[in-house]
């Protein structure tokens, strides 16, 4: 069995050693730049962990794990064009540093490179892994489209929002774990259960990320607090606040979320004040706990000796920033 730290180091080493310093440079330089940008490597680590949990050879899962990480970075690269985001992980985004065309085409190439890594495992595993990955990459695109739609639609509902984050974030974690288990030869029921474990965990993770974006500790969270409020993002906490607000609070919230001109710090503190009045942090904790509990129910069903699945449990607690 390997520790999370070991698996994380393994992925980082392999990504650093990746050989795409090729011609034409205009195409490959932005890819190298993107992969150097770091990131938590949650998806590849979860794939390796799942493989290790079921007694598979971690080496068989390393290329698909790199594939899922390259895919994730491709989606960020294209999302940054669509969202016109100037910064990613503290550095200029590709479309800002180069231009739109470079970002589109180097992104497309990354997507192809991702598939090229995903397929590099034992031959007999390729058809199943490809099926899971194709389905997942289509769903992630659907999630991004819903996310963009929500920017311009008036009445996004909480179930619609939850479905969006399921597609945009949770299914990739779920698929990573399923692919890892599949490489280790786990049976159908196990693969379905670990997929659901990853999906619920991914939901809890994204909802927690939304909560921390507004109510986190800037130093621990690692990015500026209030970003979602300034971007008028209709996250769970905003939608839940609208649901619970009286008419007056609704008007204030809606007006704040339509204005672009007001002082940013003032806007953040006004919105947070209403969220607090409505007890939104506790509401968000409730739904995060619900998903986390569902994830742990799936975890408990996994038919693996308890000591062999401790890595997965540790991973779940780690990404949810909880003590075990």
Task: Kindly give the interhelix angle for 188-215 and 264-277, rounded to the nearest 10 degrees.
Answer: 120
Stretch that binds a copy of itself, among 77-85, 203-211, 226-234, 253-261 (CB under 8 A): 77-85
In terms of CB distance, is 100 or 289 closer to a copy of itself? 100
Binding of residue 19 to a copy of itself (CB under 8 A): no
Strand (E) or helix (H) holding 249: helix 247-258
CB of 78 closer than 8 Å to CB of 103: yes
Binding of residue 85 to a copy of itself (CB under 8 A): no
Closest CA to 71 of 81, 83, 79, 82: 79
Stretch that binds a copy of itself, among 11-19, 103-111, 223-231, 246-254 (CB under 8 A): 103-111
In terms of CB distance, is 173 or 241 closer to a copy of itself? 173
Give the span between the Cα atoms of 312 and 316, in whole angstroms: 6
The site map against a copy of itself for 208-247 (x = CB under 8 A) is ----------------------------------------
Q: Which of 33, 98, 115, 257 binds a copy of itself (CB under 8 A)?
A: 115
Q: Which of 38, 57, 86, 138 binds a copy of itself (CB under 8 A)?
A: 138
HSE at residue 257, side-chain half, CA atoms within 13 A, is 22
Residue position matching structure tokens 């379905």: 192
Give the span between the Cα atoms of 91 and 97, in whole angstroms: 9
Per-residue buried b or exposed e for 203-221, using 16+ beta carbons within 10 Å of the residue's own CB: bbbbbbbbbbbbbbeeeee
In terms of CB distance, is 115 or 221 closer to a copy of itself? 115
In terms of CB distance, is 26 or 305 closer to a copy of itself? 26
In the range 32-71, which residues lie near a copy of itself by CB under 8 A?
Answer: none
Question: 3-state class of 184 per DSSP?
Answer: coil
- Where along the sequence are the contacts to a copy of itself (CB under 8 A)? 23-24, 26-27, 78, 81-82, 100-101, 104-105, 107-109, 111-113, 115-116, 119, 123, 126-127, 130-131, 134-135, 137-138, 141-142, 144-146, 148-149
């Amino acid at each position: 069995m390997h520790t999370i730290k070991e698996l994380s180091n393994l992925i980082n080493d392999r990504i650093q050693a990746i050989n795409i310093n090729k011609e034409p440079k205009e195409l490959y330089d932005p890819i190298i730049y993107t992969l150097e940008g770091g990131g938590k490597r949650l998806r590849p680590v979860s794939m390796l962990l799942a493989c290790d949990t079921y007694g598979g050879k971690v080496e068989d899962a390393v290329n698909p794990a790199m594939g899922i990480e390259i895919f994730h970075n491709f989606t960020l690269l294209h999302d940054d064009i669509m969202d016109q985001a100037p910064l990613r992980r503290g550095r200029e985004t590709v479309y800002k540093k180069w231009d739109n065309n470079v970002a589109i085409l180097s992104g497309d190439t990354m997507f192809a490179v991702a598939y090229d890594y995903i397929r590099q495992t034992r031959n007999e595993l390729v058809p199943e892994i490809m099926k899971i990955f194709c389905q997942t990459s289509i769903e992630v695109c659907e999630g991004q489209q819903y996310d963009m739609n929500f920017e311009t639609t008036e009445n996004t509902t909480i179930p619609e929002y939850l479905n969006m984050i399921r597609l945009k974030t949770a299914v990739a974690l779920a698929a990573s774990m399923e692919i890892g288990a599949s490489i280790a030869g786990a049976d159908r029921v196990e693969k379905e259960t670990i997929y659901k474990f990853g999906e619920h965990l991914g939901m809890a993770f994204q909802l927690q990320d939304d909560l921390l974006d507004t109510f986190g500790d800037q130093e621990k969270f690692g990015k500026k607090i209030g970003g979602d409020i300034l971007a008028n993002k209709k996250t769970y906490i905003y939608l839940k606040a609208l649901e619970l607000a009286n008419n007056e609070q609704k008007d204030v919230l809606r007006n704040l979320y339509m204005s672009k001109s007001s002082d940013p710090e003032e806007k953040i503190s006004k919105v947070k004040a209403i969220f607090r009045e409505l007890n939104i942090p506790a509401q968000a904790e409730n739904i995060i706990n619900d998903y986390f509990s569902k994830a742990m129910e799936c975890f408990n069903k996994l038919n693996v000796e308890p000591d062999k699945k401790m890595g997965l449990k540790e991973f779940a607690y780690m990404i949810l920033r909880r003590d075990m």
